[in-house]
Amino acid sequence: MADILVTGAGGFIGGALSAALASEGHALRCVDRKPMSEWHQLVPGADNVVGDLRDLDECRAAVRGVGTVYNLAADMGGMGFIEANKALCMLSVLPSTHMLVAARDAGVERFFYSSSACVYAADKQTDTEVTALREEDAYPAMAEDGYGWEKLFTERMCRHFYEDFGLETRVARYHNVYGPLGTFEGGREKAPASLSRKIALAALTGEDTIEIWGDGEQTRSFMYIDDCVTGTRMISDGPYGSPVNLGSSELVSINQMVDLLEEIADTKVIRQYDLTAPQGVRGRNSDNSLIRERYGWEPSISLREGLEKTYRWIHDQLAERL
């Protein structure tokens, strides 16, 4: 019998979290609607289930007998996907809401929800030298259209399920998670994986012109997957119910990321800028004051270290095809 449920377990973060939990001996139920052949990681010995959690009955089946839920189920991707699929992203409200209802009715002890930095107000992210975002900067609300609004709504649902029904909910706002075994092509990939793919192809083929969305001066922070899993476990197990940032505070521009990848790959590329492509906000960074105050910890794996591992993995995947 499983004691922990991970939804969205076929995804990049869900797979890494499931693998970490399984390595500690936890009995897991892992649920995702994708065919298992498309899961990023498949945990041996877990109760791996293909299920569509947009359906309340499937949520009830998923939570049966478990004490802890990690709800990572969502339809999402990088900025190109988010901007082109606002309705699909908002439909993630179905698994989000149904999982809360099912968890409440089943007497689940702890419910973790993976939110996003996309909940933050757009008018606080208009400059590349952005002031790092504090948790209170989500209000007055002006979230990323589509995806960000669904995340912010579900954060409120988690709060009210605790207030009204006593369901212990925990919320982390993820800031741009990346690493090996993640999506790196097909339209859902994020900047570290996309740029790693482009530069790896340049190194492998000699075709050295790459496309960069925007002018490359837009800034972000990026969190390596190991830090994400550690922080997720810590926040889920902790005593604090209100949302907390889970992200690196190392602010870099896209051009600086390309510089790092050129060094890692030992290759130089010609940068072709597409100013019409989706870019998102101008700048976004994580203020980690609250997570340091609460837990005495924050994500610390440097972008250079994380990119090195991510690039090498993507390079090897591509090299096998060429």
From the candidates 70, 113, 120, 147, which is the catalytic residue? 147
Which single residue is written with the structure tokens 């990023």? 40
Residue 28's closest CA among 19, 40, 37?
Answer: 19
Contacts of 62 (CB under 8 A, 6+ apart): 5, 7, 29, 31, 49, 51, 53, 99, 102
Cα separation, 68 vs 71, whole angstroms: 10
DSSP string, 207-246: --EEEEETTS--EE--EEHHHHHHHHHHHHHSS--S-EEE
Active site residue 147: yes
Residue 113's closest CA among 153, 78, 82, 143?
Answer: 153
Strand order in the sheet with 110-116: 47-50, 28-32, 4-7, 68-71, 110-116, 169-174, 244-246
DSSP string, 86-144: HHHHHTTHHHHHHHHHHHHHHT-SEEEEEEEGGGS-GGG--STTPPPBPGGGG-S--PP
Q: Supply the residues annotated as catalytic.
A: 147
